[in-house]
Amino acid sequence: MSGRCDQQRALTCTVKPALYLNMGERPCDAAQSGVCVVDVTLPFGKTADIEEITFQNDYTASVTVRLLRRRPGHEAPAQWCTALRDLSLMDNPHSEGGSQDYYSIHRSQMRAEPDDVASVRLILKQPSSAWLSFSLKNIEMFPHTEPEPEKEVCDWLSDLTLDDHLTQPQDVPDPHTVSSSLQQMWALTEVMQSDQTTASVGRFDVDGCYDVDLISLT
Amino acid sequence: MRKAQASWEKRVLKSLNSMSSELGVPLARMRPAAEQKEITNKWNEMGTDEPDLSRFRPVYAPKDFLEVLISLQNPNYDSSEAVSSRSHWGLIHSPLNVRDIPQLRRSFSELNLTTGQLGIDDHAHIHPDLFESDYVQIGKKVVEDQDSAAAQQYSRRGCPTGLRADLWALILNSTNQPQDVMHYEQLKAGVIQHDLLVDKLIYKDVKLTASNDDYYFVFEDFLYQVLLCFSRDTAVLEHFKYNSATPPKAYVQGKVDDEECAVVYPPNGVIPFHGFSMYVAPLCYLYNEPSKLYSVFREMYIRFFFRLHSISSSPSGIVSLCLQFERLIQTHLPQLFYHLRQIGAQPLRIAFKWMVRAFSGYLSTDQLLLLWDRILGYDSLEIVAVLAAAVFAFRAENLMEVTSLASAEAVLADLSTLKVIPLIQIFLFATAI
């Protein structure tokens, strides 16, 4: 599975404002139900394969991910399916744990393949009445790219055969002893390089001077 | 929480800056040669020095810090409801996840009633063959094998007095190799070369707290040797990677925009407050060599003690400990909590000073060391909150009869006769839930 490399850019998509579901008949009477829906849509007509969805939590207890998939070339209308149900973001919805953490949902965690997706719907739930509001921040989606095929070793390299019948010139030292002593030397240099200590010297002054009059408040 | 910590730091630094300018004492300066010689000669008896410290005052005291913690409010937290399932009786309003007794029972299972403990089963009237001799034998084996993980597990049931120093050094990975001694000498050279305002604060703190304490006044000189060197130790800066606090920055010789002249003040980034020296004092009973004592103290500070005076959401942080203490009392001693609140004696106001010092200076030393055994063994400060609640539970009858904050404090003023482990054990395992 190809990992997301840093140069990969997020898909351009529109994150619609969060829609909080309320119970009750008239808007002024409505009680908070603790459920909120956030739609993330791709530009009209485009579909994409999703590798990963990342976001920062803002006091949401759990999230359900639904995908609107539109198979290209097919006549059938786009279909919604549930990719991930009730992923818990906060262990205890009443307390702070996980409330501001960064999360990432990878395609391998989804039960439906997120291919040819036109729109993603995130259903956020926060059952605790302790919080005034809840949402997700910085929602980003990253496209899936096929991993590059393994580079094939050139055919002519694999055609080389080992020639066992080389005659040894008489006055050249045995290649095995030479190579083993070279390897020892190389190992020694590696050890020396890796052994350099990263401990700091511990000096706190600047060239012997540590005259401080004011602590910087910025 | 980060914002609260940042603004608290700013307040402290402003106070330090103004103290420096009011008193006309520079924050740091190089000592002249004569002074350096004097300090070197008096290194082992700095306690005999009686500098005039009357104009200096501690930068802050625990009660100032408590006010900051009380004012911590999450803007997203709905605190509008008058009556809710979460009680608003307490002072701490941060909704952190703290553990209650059933969960604590599971994690502190080695402290339960059926397991032998030092602090209970080594009492004089219990025959040593029942528990103590075997336990000490196991301890000797752990020290022989130099097994750090085993030492930590062993410490959960207490460390025998004779083995405690070695066991703690094992758990904390604190060695006394030549390079450690050399590091200590380097720090000592730093003390001799430069004079810091923070040094005066340390002097003042030691004079106010440890020197007045019956158990610790003998160690006054050690305390100076350790704390002055601690202030110069840049290795402590490493712990800011996992501390919510930030080390204060300053510029040498006033060159404000020159990044080359940027330094940390004090060099270890930690500004001592009133009572700070009590973190070191109990360790003086275990180690008599300054470099070893220093090494153990530094490890204990960067693992545990820093959490007691910085604002963070860590389960061992002081905010969680305060909340845990309040919740434990509200849940298991609701009448007591209500009564104390009614008379204006919020329990946290009394218990806070105990928790900030991890009970150092309030308990008798042998009991304190038994408590700190468990802190090391469980790698968590939660036991401090549990003990604070257990003390209230123990004195509950007397507390129900008091009618003012002053008398409540009087009831809880003297903890030196308390036996810590039975209290914790009863509170955790014998409380009906």
**Averaged pLDDT, A88-106:** 91
Tell whether omega for the bond before B282 is within 30 degrees of 0, i.e. cis: no
CA B433 – CA B428 distance, rounded (Å): 10
| pLDDT value of residue A180 | 86
Determine the Cα angle at B127 with ends B121 and B132, to 5°. 50
Query: Residue A54, Cα to own-chain centre: how many angstroms?
Result: 7
Give the nearest partner residue to B26 out of A94, A130, A213, using CB atoms: A213
Reference B9, options B229, B244, B267; nearest CA is: B244
49-108 in A: which are within 8 Å (CB) of B? Answer: 58-59, 91-92, 94-97
Contact call for residues A4 and A81 (beta carbons, < 8 A): no
Nearest CA in chain A to B14: A217
**Per-residue DSSP letter, B198:** H
A134 to chain B: which residues are within 8 Å by CB? 76
Side chain identity at B187, as an amino acid letter? L
pLDDT tier at A154 (50, 70, 90 boundaries)? low
pLDDT tier at A6 (50, 70, 90 boundaries)? very low
Is the Cβ of B26 closer than 8 Å to some Cβ of chain A?
A: yes
CA B39 – CA B203 distance, rounded (Å): 14
**Averaged pLDDT, A165-189:** 78
323-362 in B: which are within 8 Å (CB) of A? Answer: none
pLDDT beyond 90 at A22: no
Contact at CB, A95 and B96, closer than 8 angstroms:
yes
**Per-residue DSSP letter, B32:** P
Nearest CA in chain A to B194: A210
| pLDDT value of residue B329 | 93
φ, ψ at A191 (rounded to 5°): -60, -45
pTM of the model: 0.85
Q: What is the residue whose two structure tokens read 């597990």?
A: B153
pLDDT beyond 90 at A149: no
**C-alpha distance from B253 to closest chain A C-alpha (Å):** 6
- Crossing angle for the helix pair B62-70 and B2-23, nearest 10 degrees? 150
Q: Which tens digits make up the pLDDT trace of B354-407?
A: 999 999 999 999 999 999 999 999 999 999 999 999 999 999 999 999 999 999
Contact at CB, B252 and A130, closer than 8 angstroms:
no
B30 to chain A: which residues are within 8 Å by CB? 208-211
Q: Hey, of A92, A94, A215, which one would you mutate to test binding to chain B, going by the most B CBs within 10 A of its CB? A: A215
Nearest CA in chain B to A207: B261
CA B160 – CA B318 distance, rounded (Å): 29
Q: Which tens digits make up the pLDDT trace of B284-330?
A: 999 989 999 999 999 999 999 999 999 998 999 999 999 999 999 99
Give the nearest partner residue to B234 out of A58, A96, A200, using CB atoms: A200
Number of H helices, E strands in chain A: 2, 10
A154: CB partners within 8 A, 6+ apart:
none
* Interface A-B: count of C-beta contacts within 8 A: 108
pLDDT tier at A1 (50, 70, 90 boundaries)? very low
67-106 in B: which are within 8 Å (CB) of A? Answer: 74-78, 81, 84, 86, 94-97
CA B32 – CA B46 distance, rounded (Å): 18
Is the Cβ of B6 closer than 8 Å to some Cβ of chain A?
A: no
Q: Which residues of chain B have a pLDDT value below 50?
A: 82-85
Is the Cβ of A189 closer than 8 Å to some Cβ of chain B?
A: no
ipTM of predicted assembly, 2 dp: 0.76
User: How many residues appear in chain B?
Assistant: 433
| pLDDT value of residue A59 | 92
In percent, how much of chain A has pLDDT > 90? 24
Q: What is the residue whose two structure tokens read 């180690």?
A: B287
Q: Hey, of A90, A211, A212, which one would you mutate to test binding to chain B, going by the most B CBs within 10 A of its CB? A: A212
